[in-house]
């Protein structure tokens, strides 16, 4: 008669991990040994419980394991100097330099475009009035007064910025 | 006898017709002559007085009042009484140079305008006025206590009165003038409230203050060129001019100035009284209209903007890399029509 089954034999039998001949021998023994059948039943129940529990919850990786993994990643990362040297390889450095130059050009260009100069309308109105001086019965007293009131130094550049053309305002009553 | 009577009647009718024609001719010549004398009058008479200038906009009027001292031929001092912002300031003109005395900032701004000495241009422009306007003598009136003859200048193409001047019948000085818009309303008025003719004015009135004042060089205007085509060619960019102008208008002057480092072409068109300025630059410099109430407009189906400064309108737009501003005292429709014709 076969000796009682060991616990590892029962576990391997449950998981189908035994060789065919041993598997047949264990099966025959369980048919004739009530004690081993009881032990088998206990082991099946325990295995089933563990499977259900594993399905219900994802068990987090132990912190020590995670720490070890991160340490390995850090150990494998290149040093800053190594990375700078890697950027200076021609295959990377040339396109990067070109991109920087283009960005600088277009950035400057757009900045200039956004800061496009303007000419104060008051300056044009004043210049129009001043040019009337040779027209018969025209005079430039209005332009002179506007220039005086503007507080401008009178230079074309400053006039264009500073002129305030409004003069004395009263209801026209018309 | 009947034949003799008929011949006599015909002779009489011819004589009357001749006299009437002569009278009309004399009146026309008289009005033109008055105008010429009026333009020359400041060279011949000295005076002191008070003047009010008023510009009428669509919703308000702007006025300046100044005392004036004039010593012929070319010394003038205007001392401002109103508005408040100008009170106490003065402008002293000595020939083609003006000294704007700003007492609030303690400085004197010196500006030079060579055109004031350009007698040829002034004569040309008077001939332009004579070509485009009919001078009609109106009723005599009294202005500032002086007898004055009024002359209306009627546009030969539109029949509208554009300017009326009141001329001192004795000294020929213009004592009052009014300019009218196309709808007949007054756009600009100048009138003497008081005037007293004098033999001369003391030199001290025209002395430029120095102590405590900083002298500042103002904008100077060279003699504008009447070679408008030449100015367009030398603008430094593909400048444009209008293909349409109202009847009677012709280019009379061009000027290239640098405003804030921007080379700007200024073309001036006139019919002898009214003027239009076209400014253009190729440096992307738009006109800053932020100090005005801006209205949308259209120029050749493109968006444009216009502002009103008293009776003067400024229309601004951009096209093909050029920025334009058209300035004048015409209606918005007329300015838009001119602007739309500004093509290469």
What percentage of chain B carries pLDDT values higher than 70? 87
Pairing status of strand B186-198 against strand B46-56: antiparallel
Query: Which residues in A lie closer than 8 A to residue B253 (C-beta atoms)?
Result: 131, 134
Q: What is the mean pLDDT of residues B210-225?
A: 73
What confidence score (pLDDT) does residue B260 get?
73
CB contact under 8 Å between A136 and B116, yes or no, is no
pLDDT of residue B2 exceeding 60, the answer is no
Q: How far apart are CA A114 and CA B277, in angstroms?
A: 28
What confidence score (pLDDT) does residue B58 get?
79
Q: What is the mean pLDDT of residues A36-55?
A: 81
Q: Which residue of B has its CA nearest to A163?
A: B291
**What's the whole-model pTM score?**
0.67
Q: How far apart are CA A29 and CA A37, in angstroms?
A: 9
Among B191-205, B212-226, B259-273, the least confident range:
B212-226
Q: Would you tell me the crossing angle of helices A20-32 and A7-14 to the nearest 10 degrees? A: 110
* Confidence bin at B323 (pLDDT 50/70/90): very high
**Percent helix, strand and coil across chain B, each rounded to 5?**
25, 50, 30
Joined tokens for residue B185: 């309303």
Q: Which of residues 100-119 of A touch B (CB under 8 A)?
A: 113, 116-119
Question: Residue with structure tokens 């004399």?
Answer: B26
What integer best gives the mean pLDDT of chain B? Answer: 85
What confidence score (pLDDT) does residue B140 get?
94
| 8-state DSSP, B223 | P
Beta bridge partners of B295: B306
* Confidence bin at A165 (pLDDT 50/70/90): very low
* Confidence bin at B224 (pLDDT 50/70/90): low
Mutate to test the interface with B, among A136, A153, A160 (most CBs of B within 10 A): A136
Query: Which residues in A lie closer than 8 A to residue B275 (C-beta atoms)?
Result: 128, 131-132, 135, 138
Q: Could you tell me if residue B131 is left (phi over 0), alpha (psi between -120 and 50 degrees) or otherwise beta? A: alpha
CB contact under 8 Å between A151 and B102, yes or no, is yes
What confidence score (pLDDT) does residue A144 get?
65
Q: Which residue has the higher pLDDT, A164 or A111?
A: A111
| Tens digits of residue pLDDT in B17-58 | 434 333 333 344 589 999 999 999 999 999 999 999 998 887
Residues 6+ apart with CB under 8 A from A77: none
**Reported ipTM:** 0.82
pLDDT of residue A105 exceeding 80, the answer is no
pLDDT of residue B122 exceeding 90, the answer is no
What confidence score (pLDDT) does residue B221 get?
59
Q: How far apart are CA A17 and CA A80, in angstroms?
A: 51
Q: What is the mean pLDDT of residues B82-90?
A: 90
pLDDT of residue A172 exceeding 60, the answer is no
User: B66: closest CA among A148, A136, A125, A159?
Assistant: A148
What confidence score (pLDDT) does residue B150 get?
96
End-to-end CA distance of chain B: 75
CB contact under 8 Å between B259 and A133, yes or no, is no
What confidence score (pLDDT) does residue B18 get?
36
* Confidence bin at B216 (pLDDT 50/70/90): confident
Joined tokens for residue B121: 């241009």
pLDDT of residue A74 exceeding 80, the answer is no
Q: What is the mean pLDDT of residues A120-143?
A: 77
What confidence score (pLDDT) does residue B325 get?
96
The full length of chain B comes to 344
pLDDT of residue B136 exceeding 90, the answer is yes
What confidence score (pLDDT) does residue B34 get?
93
Residues 6+ apart with CB under 8 A from B111: A144, A147, A154, B97, B98, B100, B218, B219, B220, B221
Distances (CA, A) of B151 to B39, B51, B272, B322: 13, 20, 15, 42
* Confidence bin at B300 (pLDDT 50/70/90): confident
What percentage of chain A carries pLDDT values higher than 90? 1
User: B166: closest CA among B184, B154, B151, B146?
Assistant: B151
| Tens digits of residue pLDDT in B250-263 | 988 888 877 777 88
| Tens digits of residue pLDDT in A22-37 | 888 888 898 889 999 8
Distances (CA, A) of A171 to A168, B13, B18, B56, B114: 10, 56, 51, 9, 37
CB of B179 within 8 A of CB of B188?
yes
* Confidence bin at A159 (pLDDT 50/70/90): very low
Among A34-38, B102-106, B117-121, B151-155, the least confident range:
B117-121
Q: Which residue has the higher pLDDT, B215 or A92?
A: B215
Report yes or no: A171 at the B interface, CB cutoff 8 Å: yes
């Amino acid at each position: 008669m076969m000796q009682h089954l060991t616990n590892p034999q029962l576990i391997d039998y449950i998981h189908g991990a035994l060789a065919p001949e041993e598997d047949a021998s264990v099966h025959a023994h369980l048919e004739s040994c009530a004690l081993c059948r009881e032990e088998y039943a206990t082991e099946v129940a325990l295995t089933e419980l563990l499977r259900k529990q594993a399905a219900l919850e994802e068990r987090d990786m132990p912190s020590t394991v995670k720490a070890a993994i991160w340490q390995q990643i850090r150990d494998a990362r290149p040093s800053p100097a190594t990375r700078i040297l890697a950027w200076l390889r021609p295959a990377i450095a040339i396109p990067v330099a070109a991109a920087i130059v283009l960005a600088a050009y277009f950035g400057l260009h757009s900045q200039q475009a956004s800061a496009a100069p303007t000419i104060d309308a008051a300056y044009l109105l004043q210049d129009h009035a001043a040019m009337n001086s040779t027209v018969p019965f025209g005079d430039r007293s209005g332009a002179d007064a506007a220039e005086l009131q503007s507080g401008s130094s009178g230079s074309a550049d400053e006039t264009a910025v500073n002129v305030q053309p409004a003069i004395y305002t009263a209801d026209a009553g018309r | 006898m009947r034949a003799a009577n008929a011949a006599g009647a015909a002779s009489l009718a011819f004589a009357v017709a001749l006299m009437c024609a002569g009278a009309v001719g004399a009146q026309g010549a008289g009005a033109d002559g008055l105008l010429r004398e009026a333009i020359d009058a400041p060279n011949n008479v000295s005076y002191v007085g008070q003047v009010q200038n008023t510009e009428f906009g669509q919703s308000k009027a702007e006025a300046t009042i100044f005392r004036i001292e004039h010593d012929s031929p070319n010394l003038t001092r205007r001392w401002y009484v109103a508005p408040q912002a100008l009170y106490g300031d003065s402008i002293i003109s000595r020939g083609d140079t003006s000294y704007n005395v700003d007492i609030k900032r303690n400085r004197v701004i010196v500006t030079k305008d060579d055109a004031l000495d350009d007698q040829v241009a002034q004569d040309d422009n008077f001939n332009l006025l004579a070509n485009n306007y009919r001078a009609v003598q109106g009723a005599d009136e009294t202005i500032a206590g002086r007898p004055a003859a009024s002359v209306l200048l009627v546009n030969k193409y539109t029949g509208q009165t554009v300017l009326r001047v009141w001329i001192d019948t004795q000294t020929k000085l213009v004592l009052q003038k009014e300019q009218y818009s196309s709808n007949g309303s007054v756009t600009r008025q100048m009138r003497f409230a008081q005037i007293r003719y004098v033999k001369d004015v003391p030199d001290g009135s025209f002395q430029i203050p120095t102590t405590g004042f900083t002298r500042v060089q103002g904008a100077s205007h060279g003699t504008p060129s009447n070679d408008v085509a030449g100015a367009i060619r030398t603008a430094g960019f593909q400048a444009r001019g209008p293909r349409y102008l109202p009847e009677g208008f012709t280019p009379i002057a061009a000027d290239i100035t640098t405003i804030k480092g921007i080379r700007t072409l200024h073309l001036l068109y006139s019919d002898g009284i009214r003027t239009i300025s076209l400014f253009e630059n190729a440096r992307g410099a738009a006109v800053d209209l932020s100090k005005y109430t801006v209205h949308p407009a259209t120029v050749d189906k493109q968006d444009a903007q216009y502002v009103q400064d008293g009776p003067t309108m400024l229309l601004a737009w951009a096209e093909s890399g050029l920025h334009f501003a058209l300035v004048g005292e015409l209606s918005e429709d007329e300015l838009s029509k001119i602007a739309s014709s500004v093509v290469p």
